[in-house]
A and B are shown apart, each in its own frame.
Chain A
Amino acid sequence: MNETQGLTIGSLFISGSLLTTWVLMLGMLAFSAFIRRKLLQEDNPWRTSAEILFTIMENAVKEVVPSYYQQVTPFIATLWIYLVLANLLGLIPGLHSPTADLSVTAGLALIVFASVHWFGIRNLGLKRYLQHYLSPNPIMLPFHLMSEISRTLALAIRLFGNIMSLEMAILLVLLVAGFLVPVPLMMLHLVEALIQAYIFGVLALLYIGTSLENKTTQPDQGSNNT
């Protein structure tokens, strides 16, 4: 679907998903500026809500990587916020979720893939991090490599498949049954959007945590590397 919509600038074709993402980014930036002003006020409900939401996300990250949560939290929190909003965007008539585009979810999965190695190498060092692929036995190296590829693919396809299928189902039901009939499916979309965003972020967090597991026994070293 999304492939058919977009913007062509010269020889470049900007997909609708990218345009939607940019609009979403602008909205998030504006909302950040709004929240930033509210944060300067005492006992403001927006401030309180923002603090609560951030604290919840930070605590969730802290439970998995207690020594590196200050490094990892911005990445995971951005993932959760972006995915929740991107997934819910499909509920607005006339718009499509960017995450219903496999290219977008693939890009996100590649970012997660890269971030796992980035955090691992940054905190463990290249040599020690690469030794992780040879543990417990060098024979495990192919399996580790297959695991890296498969879980990245799974991340991309799981999110894409869920969001795309829900949008497709809502569209089909709307075409077949008419107005208001897809409302239950839209409710399901609402729940599914939250769940898929949570799953994507938690899996990314777990992958990062797995890459840092050799270091988690030394909590004082990584906590200062913000």
Chain B
Amino acid sequence: MELDPLTIVLEIVNFLVLIWLLKRFLFKPVQAAIARRQQDLEQAQQDAQQKAKDATDRQQQLQSKIDDWEQEKIRQQQQLQEQLSRQREQAMDKVRQEAEDEKKRLQTILQQDQAALMEKTQQQAQQGAIQLTQQLLNRLAGTDLDQALLNMFADDINQLPDTERDKLATALRKQKSVLITSARPLPDAQTQQLQNILQSVLGQNITLETKVDEQLISGVRLTIGPMVLHANLADELEFFKAELHHAI
């Protein structure tokens, strides 16, 4: 356990050399490797941060696009709803108009049907009344009624205005004869009565021609040229029928 100065000195030299060697060949390369690793880590960290930033930016862009799409969707939904609402309103208006038109058309048809039915009913009632009247008059027809009608004719012709008498007289002068149509053969007395009445009213001698027409029911029809004087039930019924038809 003796101290050897040479060993001490050489050990000091050895150690100093060892420090230099390790620093030169071990520590500096290790430090450089650590620096490289640190640099790689920082680079990787920067890359990761950059990627994270890019991802965040991308996410924001996508979110912005999604928001835009969402707003566009809402806007288009609103437009579509408005358009649908307008179309529905238009369709409803059209349907209402068509329903109204159809209603009017049906009302018109109904009114026409009602009018036709009413007219038909009236015509039927009219025909019934006329037939009933005709049946009744057929049963009442006879010589007495012929005489009554003849008397009524005498009264009426006596009350004719002068202008009408002149027309009859003129027609008689051209024709020279009067056609008397009766429902049945006139008795001589009635024929004579008629001749007297006409001569008295018209102031001329006249020739009577007689004709039987059972359709007249009762009374006579006097034909003087183009003029016809009615004093029978058949013509009265026709007048009555025409009046009814005109009234309807």
Contacts and interface: CB of A to CB of B under 8 A. Distances in A.
Interface in B1-31: 1-12, 14-19, 21-23, 25-27, 29-31
A175 interface: no
Contact of B33 (A29, A39, A110): A39
A29 B25 CA distance: 8
Given A36-B26, A39-B33, A102-B3, A25 B11 contact: no
B162 to A, nearest CB: 152
B8 A103 contact: yes
B62 interface: no
A139 interface: no
Nearest to A43: B37
Contact of B7 (A18, A50, A55, A74): A18
Given A107-B11, A111-B15, A35 B30 contact: yes
A146 interface: no
Contacts of B30: 35, 39, 50-51, 54
Contacts of B3: 102-103, 106
A203 interface: no
A50 B33 contact: yes
Given A73-B27, A103-B3, A108 B11 contact: yes
A102 B1 contact: yes
Report the contact-size class of chain A (Cβ under 8 Å from the partner).
Answer: 35 or more
A133 to B, nearest CB: 24
A73 B8 CA distance: 23
A28 interface: yes
A18 B11 contact: yes
Secondary structure class of chain A's binding surface, majority of residues: helix
Given A39-B33, A54-B31, A73-B27, A29 B4 contact: no
B14 A21 contact: yes
B95 interface: no
Contacts of B55: none
A103 B8 CA distance: 5
Given A28-B18, A32-B26, A102-B1, A15 B7 contact: yes
Interface string A99-132: 0011110111011000000000000000000000
A148 interface: no
A51 B37 CA distance: 10
B21 A111 contact: no
Contact of B22 (A32, A110, A111): A32
B21 A25 contact: yes
20 contacts: A13-B4, A14-B6, A15-B7, A29-B21, A29-B25, A39-B29, A47-B33, A50-B30, A51-B33, A54-B27, A54-B34, A74-B22, A77-B27, A78-B22, A81-B22, A82-B18, A102-B1, A103-B4, A104-B11, A107-B12
Interface of A: 3, 12-15, 17-18, 21-22, 25, 28-29, 32-33, 35-36, 39, 47, 50-51, 54-55, 73-75, 77-78, 81-82, 98, 101-104, 106-108, 110-111, 164
Which 8 A-B residue pairings sit nearest by Cβ, starting from the closest?
Answer: A107-B11, A103-B7, A32-B26, A32-B25, A39-B33, A107-B8, A74-B23, A103-B4
Given A50-B26, A78-B19, 19 more contacts: A15-B6, A22-B14, A25-B21, A28-B18, A28-B22, A32-B21, A33-B25, A35-B29, A39-B29, A51-B34, A51-B37, A54-B31, A73-B27, A75-B19, A78-B15, A98-B11, A102-B2, A107-B15, A108-B15
